[in-house]
Amino acid sequence: MLVIVAVTGLLHQDMRDGLATVEANRRQYHMLLECEIPVLALALLSLRWQRKLFWVGWAIHAAFTVFVAVIVIWLAFFWHC
């Protein structure tokens, strides 16, 4: 699901937001893809071969989710400081 969101965000950028915003969004979507594509690859490989790959992918996904949650909390509560 996150891969679809990232690809959609990269393909449909609104130029009315300004160049700096478009560039920041592009960097964010690239980071999302860089984190989620290995997870997808490990999940697909774990279907056929080792179950350990599933747990490695799950750990990467969990770490990325925690990272995003910390960023969202930081921006929501401490941005104005």
Q: 48 near 73, Cβ under 8 Å?
A: no
Reading the block at residue 67, the tokens are 């990272």
Q: 42 near 50, Cβ under 8 Å?
A: no
On the question of pLDDT at 80 being above 80, the answer is no
Residue 59, pLDDT score: 85
Burial class (CB within 10 angstroms; exposed 0-12, middle 13-18, buried 19+) of 68: middle
What is the number of structural domains in the chain? 1
pLDDT digit string, tens, across residues 26-76 = 888 888 888 778 877 777 778 777 778 788 888 888 888 888 788 878 877
Rounded to two decimals, what is the model's pTM?
0.60
Domain that holds residue 69: 2-78
